[in-house]
Amino acid sequence: MNEGGLRFFESDSPLKNLFPGFELREGQRKMAEAVQQALRQKQILVVEAGTGTGKTLSYLLPLLAEAKATGRRVLVSTETKTLQSQILKKELPLIQKALGALFGQADPIQAEICLGAGNYLCKRKLQRRRMAGEKQIWYRDFMKWERTTATGLISEYTDYTPPGFLSGLGRESDRCLGARCPNYQTSHYFVARERWKRSNLLIVNHALLARHLLGESTLLPEFHYAVIDEAHRFAELFNAQAEETLSLEWLKSVVAELPYPAPGLVQASDDLYAALRQAHGLRNRRFRLTKALDLPEVNPLLGSIDRAVQDLENDDQSDLFGETQAEANLRKTMLTGRLKTASRILDRFCEGPTSTEVFSLVVEKDDAKLTVTPVDSSERIHALFLQTIDSVVFTSATLSVKGSLDYFTSQIGIDGKNPRYRSMQLPSPFDYAGRSMLYIPRHLPEPGAVDTGFEQACVEEVRRLIELAGGGVLVVFSSLRSLQTVESGLQGITFPVYSSAKDGPERAIELFRQTDDAVLLGLESYRQGLDVQGDRLRMVVLVRLPFPVPDDPLLQAREEREKEQGRNPFTSLQMPEMILKMRQGFGRLIRSSEDRGAVAILDPRVYTRPYGKTLLASLPPARRTDSFEELDRWWKGIFTKPGKKSIRGKVSI
């Protein structure tokens, strides 16, 4: 299968005979050629492939061809479970069938979805629950499932269990006996890891890949080639995995497992919480600490932790916790490690932040959380990933700002001077100009820090857009308050309204899928990962330009860095983030060649601010208007029966 990956994208592709309706796409062929070249020449390739390119097949076929030719394992990383499932259940069976037709009997593709250890049921924990005397019917049902499950994934069990039961059963690395566990041979997690080792293709999420790279590459089997799909979020999620948080409530839960009472440690933790609350008040959102944590309550807590660690290390009782010797030793090591982690984070807060990290604090009603976050992970991504792998491909439909990939490549630690770096940008094959319109009214007031009347004006504008579309409308908000204002203003409307705030994000989407001509209200997460094909979704309303929250600690630190380097943080940080989110929101409308409809942007700053031109130049080439009357005429022309029952579409999240 040396050239096999590209054979599927030629004019006489075998896919045409196997799958009626298969359309050969020029962009798909170009991407496959670029991916194959990158894999063979050990390049770092960045591909922006517009919606409809068919990028999944474009990278899977050459990737699997290279795996077969070299005998080396390959990896695909995504952000969403939806795409992971699509690759395993839809794309790979298609590829397997095609390979068999082209090359005769093809070796089966061994692919595995890899998840973090906490997703897998720990049998030893479950056995200890059984020893505690669980006799309820629900417990017997759960035990029956455990004996028959093929995966041991806790998320697959959907029947009733009491609150908190399932969350306490996942595997924890520092509580795991490993090969010393009597359940080792049948452990769901370790059995899964053995399957990973036998696979040709690992399918993972960005968070797990980041933990693997940050943890000395011990979580996953060795792989030599990788594709990072949904790459626009990779750097952000990598950075999130590199942060460390100390919760004072978590610390007290560790103390509760000590083999002896430690009231002094608990009191010291409570004293620090009281001091933080007195100094900062209740702050449910992270706020930044720019100086060392200088409170007299810190040192007593550090001293109490150190004494607890010493007591544990000096205690040589053979059966310290009334368990087997192996379990006792493990628990002792676990408790010591967790206390040392708490002490280390507190020490860092006492020293104060460096120029490469952000200190932030949350003070909640019953807890305080201290977090250390890297300002930037681009150098780590480059050193731990790009320099250690034969070849990697980053791809997404939304990577560029006004045609430039520089903002994305700076996040992953590469620039145009890197001799391994190659890039490609492929436009969407969809007819945006003929099948979509972008409506941006001028008459609404601009949003602002004070009430400008924008939200109330949005209520009226959203109502008449819903009436025009006859339902089938997604409305995306940047704040919960704005969503609730509009939701309240839509009372009495004749179309069903579902809201992520009222119904929950996933439930609201499911209700939208099941209901004709409905309205779906959601927050930022609905800008990406929501895929509704057909006339069920025929209008997307983007209420406000989604600039980052100005008091976000990480944003503040990054802005300072940009200023130090002589750059304008608004144009180098805030504007690119806003534009990429707007592109993702626009992308919810046209998901197939048959889709049609309108996108409305209600924020008039598109017209009144210089960045408006950059935004418009970055969006798909839909027809544009600021006139509701023109939108109305166009709508009636493209939808011959507006307001009638829509075509049912596929929905995934």
CATH superfamily of 14-110+199-224+389-426: P-loop containing nucleotide triphosphate hydrolases (3.40.50.300)
Range name among 14-28, 282-296, 351-365 with the lowest pLDDT average: 14-28
Reading the block at residue 370, the tokens are 């201290």
Question: pLDDT at position 547, please?
Answer: 94
pLDDT digit string (tens) for 590-616? Answer: 988 889 999 999 999 999 999 999 999
pLDDT digit string (tens) for 449-486? Answer: 677 899 999 999 999 999 999 999 999 999 999 999 99
Relative orientation angle of helices 234-241 and 206-214, to the nearest 10 degrees: 50
Q: What percent of the chain has pLDDT over 90?
A: 71
pLDDT over 80 at 315, yes or no:
no
Q: pLDDT-derived band of residue 12, with 50, 70 and 90 as boundaries? A: confident
Size of the chain in residues: 653
HSE (CB half, 13 Å, CA atoms) of 444? 29
pLDDT digit string (tens) for 49-93? Answer: 999 898 998 999 899 988 888 899 999 999 988 889 889 988 888
Mean pLDDT of the chain: 90
Question: pLDDT at position 2, please?
Answer: 45
Q: Identical fold at 14-110+199-224+389-426 and 436-639?
A: yes
CA separation for the pair 213, 239 (Å, rounded) = 12
pLDDT digit string (tens) for 481-519? Answer: 999 999 999 998 999 999 999 999 889 999 998 898 999
Radius of gyration, CA atoms only, the chain: 27
10 conformational bin, left if phi > 0, alpha if psi -120 to 50, beta if neither: beta
Question: pLDDT at position 393, please?
Answer: 98
Phi, psi for residue 47 in degrees, rounded to 5 = -125, 120
pLDDT over 50 at 420, yes or no:
yes
SS3 416: coil
CA separation for the pair 73, 557 (Å, rounded) = 39
* Greater model confidence, 348 or 25: 348
Question: pLDDT at position 1, please?
Answer: 39
Q: Provide the residue ranges of all domains of the chain, joining segments of one domain with +.
A: 14-110+199-224+389-426, 119-188, 244-374, 436-639
Range name among 11-15, 58-62, 351-355, 611-615 with the lowest pLDDT average: 11-15
Whether the model pTM is above 0.85: yes
Which residues pair with residue 401 across a beta bridge? 404
Question: pLDDT at position 19, please?
Answer: 67
Residue labelled with tokens 């380097």 = 565
Segment 524-538 mean pLDDT:
86
Strands (E), 79-196: 111-113
CA separation for the pair 39, 67 (Å, rounded) = 10
SS3 647: coil
Question: pLDDT at position 643, please?
Answer: 42
* CB of 211 closer than 8 Å to CB of 171: no
pLDDT over 80 at 163, yes or no:
yes
pLDDT digit string (tens) for 122-147? Answer: 999 888 776 555 667 888 889 899 99
pLDDT over 80 at 651, yes or no:
no
Q: pLDDT-derived band of residue 106, with 50, 70 and 90 as boundaries? A: low
Segment 238-259 mean pLDDT:
95
Burial class (CB in 10 A: 0-12, 13-18, 19+), 79: buried
Segment 415-429 mean pLDDT:
91
Read off the DSSP letter of residue 354: -
CA 600 vs. chain centroid, Å, equals 26
Give the C-alpha distances (Å, rounded to integers) separating 475 from 191, 546, 570: 44, 13, 26
Instruction: Output helix, strand, coil percentages for the chain, rounded to the nearest 5.
Output: 50, 15, 35
Question: pLDDT at position 94, please?
Answer: 82
CA separation for the pair 227, 38 (Å, rounded) = 11
Segment 278-282 mean pLDDT:
92
pLDDT over 70 at 317, yes or no:
no
* CB of 439 closer than 8 Å to CB of 446: no
Residue labelled with tokens 């479950």 = 126
CA separation for the pair 502, 484 (Å, rounded) = 9
pLDDT digit string (tens) for 169-209? Answer: 999 999 999 999 999 999 999 999 999 999 999 999 999 99
pLDDT over 90 at 412, yes or no:
yes
Q: Is 436-639 in CATH node 3.90.1150.10? A: no
